[in-house]
């Protein structure tokens, strides 16, 4: 379930977040939303 949430967040944010923050920070953000 957590992985699905990560995938959903990734789909919503990959358009701009991945361009602004590092992959590691993005993962932390995704888990923070969880």
Rounded to 5 degrees, φ, ψ at 14 are -60, -25
Q: Which two tokens stand for residue 2?
A: 């957590």
- Going from the C-alpha of 8 to that of each of 4, 22, 25, the distances in angstroms are 6, 18, 17
* Average pLDDT along the chain: 64
Report whether pLDDT(27) > 70. yes
Q: Which two tokens stand for residue 23?
A: 């992959």
Q: Which two tokens stand for residue 25?
A: 């920070």
Report whether pLDDT(22) > 60. yes
Task: Determine the average pLDDT of the residues in 11-27.
Answer: 64
Domains contained in the chain, number: 1
Banded pLDDT at 29 (limits 50, 70, 90)? confident
Report whether pLDDT(24) > 70. yes
Q: Which domain holds residue 9?
A: 2-33
Task: Write down the pLDDT at residue 14.
Answer: 64
């Amino acid at each position: 379930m957590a992985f699905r949430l990560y995938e959903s967040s990734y789909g919503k944010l990959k358009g701009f977040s991945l361009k602004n923050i590092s992959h590691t920070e993005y993962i932390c953000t995704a888990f923070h939303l969880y």
